[in-house]
């Protein structure tokens, strides 16, 4: 990423863009979707989707997953759309039955799309996309299936075409191992057709405007060349390791974190926020603390005394959880160092915890 960006007419720019497009299609496992890159974070990716699919009064079903589904629904409403939601139970993934019921109730097919957050970063909960696709099909509803893979891509299995996903949204800063600042959207022809019929003002986000043989027009101006250079390298690293091995590594490391938290929780001070084992994210783990424990103070101790940065709670979970990220460029030694730092911080704060690091090691030795 530190290499000097080149003039936009340099043929290496077109080659770089083409490599990133083809690499992302391979990672997403799609032959049907076109990839668009934006100088933006994940919320910018959301906005690109909304600008192309949501006109005034357009109904969108946003199944409840917590903070990020709430945020996406608010963004839909800000554009004049009607955001419909399904009930959310803390610590649980999206309920496919609730999605199916909502779509069956929509006999006039007002709902244009179902906007799903695959892994909610705030709650560290992953929903079953195949089950949600089956729910849409069972309701015999034509809604587009739109999936946020910001916190899951290149960590958890995701096959866009096989899952029947029409639009996928992601960002650079998580499983792609890059600094924040670049978002992408992959849209298939079905979604592109809906976008062509959407009556809404748009320019920078417009998929139709970005479909061009000229590289710079694909970015509505100057491309984020440094991010694209990094993306090409990241895709190469993933390809060299092998996607199945990448997924297996994330699952192995996540299991070690879950084992550590379970051991720490024997003292009654902590527990895994996600209630069901199969819904626990391989990307990030949310740890709920007992009343009276301040996770923000714990984060400060971990950072200042033991040089380990852990994340705090977002939205309604602020002050209730801390989060451990374990995705991207991560291996066993890095993870065990993190867990030891967290355990040291817990002990420094007088919080009952035993055996977390040992439990993680035992998990890794299985």
Structural domains for the chain = 11-241 (3.40.640.10), 243-365 (3.90.1150.10)
Centre a 10 Å sphere on the Cβ of residue 337 and count the other Cβ atoms it contains: 14
Contact 317, 259 (CB under 8 A): no
Instruction: Count CB-CB contacts under 10 A for residue 296.
Output: 11
What predicted TM-score, i.e. pTM, was given to this entire model? 0.97
Report the pLDDT value the prediction gives residue 237, as an integer from 0 to 100: 98
Question: Mind giving me the DSSP string for 247-263?
Answer: HHHHHHHHHHHHHHHHH
Q: How many CB atoms sit inside 10 A of residue 263's CB?
A: 21
Q: In Å, how far from its chain's centre is CA 146?
A: 13
What are the b/e assignments for 174-183, b being 16+ CB within 10 Å?
A: bbbbbeebbb
One pLDDT digit (tens) per residue for the chain, 366 residues: 999 999 988 999 999 999 999 999 999 999 999 999 999 999 999 999 999 999 999 999 999 999 999 999 999 999 999 999 999 999 999 999 999 999 999 999 999 999 999 999 999 999 999 999 999 999 999 999 999 999 999 999 999 999 999 999 999 999 999 999 999 999 999 999 999 999 999 999 999 999 988 888 899 999 999 999 999 999 999 999 999 999 999 999 999 999 999 999 999 999 999 999 999 999 999 999 999 999 999 999 999 999 999 999 999 999 999 999 999 999 999 999 999 999 999 999 999 898 999 999 999 999
Contact between 1 and 226 under an 8 Å Cβ cutoff? The reply is yes
Cα-based angle 224, 178, 321 (whole degrees, multiple of 5): 130
Q: Are 231 and 15 in contact (CB under 8 A)?
A: no
What is the pLDDT at residue 213? 85
pLDDT for 216: 83
Residues 6+ apart with CB under 8 A from 67: 120, 122, 123, 314, 315, 316, 317
Nearest to 110 by CA among 74, 152, 82, 139: 82
The string of DSSP letters for 19-64 reads: HHHHHHHHHHT-SSEEEEEESS-HHHHHHHHHHHH--TT-EEEE--
Spatial contact of 294 and 95, defined as CB atoms under 8 Å apart: no
How far apart, in whole angstroms, are the C-alpha atoms of residue 136 and residue 140? 6
Largest CA distance in the chain: 62
């Amino acid at each position: 990423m530190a290499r000097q960006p080149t003039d936009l007419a340099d043929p290496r720019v077109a080659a770089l863009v083409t490599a990133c497009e083809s690499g992302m299609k391979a990672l997403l496992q799609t032959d049907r979707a076109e990839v668009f890159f934006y100088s933006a974070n994940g919320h910018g990716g959301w906005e690109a989707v909304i600008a192309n699919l949501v006109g005034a009064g357009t109904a969108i079903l946003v199944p409840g997953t917590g903070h990020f589904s709430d945020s996406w629904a608010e963004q839909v409403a800000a554009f004049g759309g009607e955001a419909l939601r399904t009930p959310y139970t803390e610590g649980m993934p999206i309920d496919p039955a609730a999605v199916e019921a909502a779509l069956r109730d929509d006999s006039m097919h007002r709902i244009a799309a179902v906007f799903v957050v695959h892994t909610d970063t705030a709650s560290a909960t992953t929903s079953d996309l195949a089950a949600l696709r089956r729910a849409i099909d069972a309701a015999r509803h034509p809604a587009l299936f739109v999936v946020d893979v910001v916190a899951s891509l290149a960590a958890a299995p995701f096959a866009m075409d096989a899952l029947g996903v029409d639009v996928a949204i992601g960002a650079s800063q998580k499983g792609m191992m890059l600094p924040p600042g670049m978002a992408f959207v992959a849209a298939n022809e079905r979604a592109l057709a809906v976008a062509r019929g959407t009556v809404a003002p748009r320019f920078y986000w417009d998929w139709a405007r970005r479909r061009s043989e000229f590289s710079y027009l694909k970015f509505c101006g100057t491309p984020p060349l440094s991010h694209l250079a990094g993306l090409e390298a990241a895709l190469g690293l993933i390809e060299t390791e092998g996607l199945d091995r990448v997924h297996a590594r994330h699952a192995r490391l996540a299991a070690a974190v879950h084992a550590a938290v379970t051991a720490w929780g024997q003292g009654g001070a902590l527990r895994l926020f996600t209630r069901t084992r199969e819904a626990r994210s391989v990307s990030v783990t949310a740890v709920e603390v007992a009343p009276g424990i301040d996770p923000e103070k714990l984060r400060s101790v971990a950072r200042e005394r033991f040089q380990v940065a852990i994340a705090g709670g977002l939205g309604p979970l602020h002050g209730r959880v801390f989060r451990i990220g374990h995705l991207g460029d991560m291996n066993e030694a890095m993870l065990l160092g993190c867990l030891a730092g967290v355990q040291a911080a817990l002990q420094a704060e007088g919080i009952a915890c035993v055996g977390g690091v040992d439990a993680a090691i035992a998990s890794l030795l299985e």
